Structure 1
Amino acid sequence: MGFGIKLRVWGDYACFTRPEMKVERVSYDVMTPSAARGILEAIHWKPAISWVIDRIHVLKPIAFENIRRNEVKSKASGKKLAIYTSEEVQQRAALVLRNVEYIIEAHFEMTEKQGAEDSEEKHYNIFLRRVRQGQCFHRPYFGTREFPVSFELVEDASSVGESVHKGDIDLGYMLLDQIFKLNDKREVAEVTPYFFRATMKDGIIKVPRLKEAVR
């Protein structure tokens, strides 16, 4: 296991969309491991490292709110270089989380793409420096870009406070991650989702490794 970190993240709203909901967006009860990894990668990522989520601490009560959002129906591509929102916009309902706060407990592992100049200590210190200075490659978000993430390093675990959740809570099957298979043109040809049975114990969700997940 590589160097471990704890990152506190919070925001006004979040939407970790359930993949089985085809029309309207409905969020999972808590942040998914893939969303947590996306936040870490927004702060610091290189081909030489791979982030692994170990635990997710749910600090605030789970509260939902119904909202309506404007979305565009299509995506920009090589064949469609421009999108005119006046023609493409549509309104969709969404069941989102409000007033969320989590602690992401994770570590990174070195990959086969590491170079001679790469080391665990180097990337660990880079991550710490970037978090302390509030730096990120792009603003991390909770599921969708209009729900930005505030973040800070957990320097002292005793200063965080306890979760409001006590006992065991079965959250059902949750998306763990998605593996993308590319074709010869480096385009996404196949997406394989992996799920796990999420159980929250005293506000903490232990995240399994990908080999322990189900498809």
Structure 2
Amino acid sequence: MYNNSVELTVYGDYALFSDPITRVGGEKWSYQIPTYEALKGILSSVYWKPTFIWYIDAVRVMKPIQTEVKGIRPIKYHGGNDLSYYTYLKDVEYHIKAHFEWNHNRRELEQDRNVAKHEEIAKRMIKKGGRRDIFLGARECQAYVEPCCFDEGKGFYDDISELAFGPMFHGFTYADEAYDEKTAGRLTQNFWKPIMKNGVIEFCRPEDCEHRYLHETKVKVFENKKNFQPVSEFDV
């Protein structure tokens, strides 16, 4: 009955999935498609617990890719304002297919591994629009989520057999999401080369990407009766 997966649509007036290379000069330019990390952040805003990790299986681009340039006055680090140009995606909508898997780095939360519970909560939160505010890559790009069927509706690129987008940032692997010795205790940056086929981009898993290992970092440990209380102590 439960398969630990969800399908939802996210849409908004603007999106900014910024390419890190374009930030050097203080200006931002959006990738043409959402990054794995941005979509994972949307699912985390909908419903997140350290018991599990969200994995994005695929995204379907429903509307044409179009951009709009805006003049922005960002605040300088040492005070005052500057003038920059940000290139946003305009009028976007995506269908997302995702699933969660238990975070085996969190042995202290093994008693919380209940597929039915987390799937039902996640689907209920999608219907309500998410537990936290939803953004498409940047804080100023407000978005909205709703449940959907991944294959329903007509997408703009459904009839285009293949589009390649070149090397692209995939996402981060944090220390508490480590899957081998190299990613344990450090922040890892992942890269890949996405290809859209008939409007759908199927994401590879973080461990299948090209990696850049960054600085070391510690993992927060959740302790019983300190960070959480067992269900048995509550009146039900």
Fold shared, TM-score > 0.5 on shorter chain: yes
Q: CA offsets, 1:11-61, max 9 Å, x none? A: 000010011112220100011110000000001000101000010110100
Q: Which deviates the most, 126-135 or 48-57?
A: 126-135
The answer on 1:30 being equivalent to 2:22 is: no
Post-superposition offset of 1:157:
4.6
Residues 47-196 of structure 1 aligned to structure 2 (within 5 Å): 47-74=50-77, 87-112=79-104, 113=106, 114-136=109-131, 138-154=132-148, 156-157=149-150, 160-165=152-157, 166-180=160-174, 191-196=187-192
Post-superposition offset of 1:179:
3.1
Would you say the 8 A contact 2:5–2:98 is kept in 1? Answer: yes
Compute the RMSD of aligned alpha carbons: 2.2
Q: Which has the larger share of strand?
A: 1
**Structure 1 gap ranges (5+):** 75-82, 183-188
Give the corresponding residue for 1:13: 14
Using the size of structure 1 for normalisation, the TM-score is: 0.83
Q: Percent identity?
A: 29
Post-superposition offset of 1:134:
2.4
Greater relative contact order, per chain length (Cα 8 Å cut-off, separation 6+): 1
CA gap of 1:33–1:44, structure 2 versus 1, over 3 A, is same
Q: Distance in 1 between matches of 2:7 and 2:207?
A: 23
Q: CA offsets, 1:104-143, max 9 Å, x none? A: 111000113233143111100011111112241x211011
- Secondary structure of 1:71's partner? coil
CA gap of 1:191–1:25, structure 2 versus 1, over 3 A, is farther
The answer on 1:44 being equivalent to 2:50 is: no
CA gap of 1:70–1:191, structure 2 versus 1, over 3 A, is farther
CA gap of 1:209–1:129, structure 2 versus 1, over 3 A, is same
Q: Distance in 1 between matches of 2:80 and 2:99?
A: 41
Q: Distance in 1 between matches of 2:44 and 2:80?
A: 31
Q: Moved runs in structure 1, 4+ residues, more than 4 A?
A: none
CA gap of 1:139–1:206, structure 2 versus 1, over 3 A, is same
Larger gyration radius, structure 1 or structure 2: 2
Pairs aligned (count): 195
Give the corresponding residue for 2:215: none
Out of 186, 201, 206, which is 1:205 matched to? 201
Would you say the 8 A contact 2:51–2:112 is kept in 1? Answer: no
Q: Distance in 1 between matches of 2:97 and 2:10?
A: 11
Q: Distance in 2 between matches of 1:7 and 1:119?
A: 21
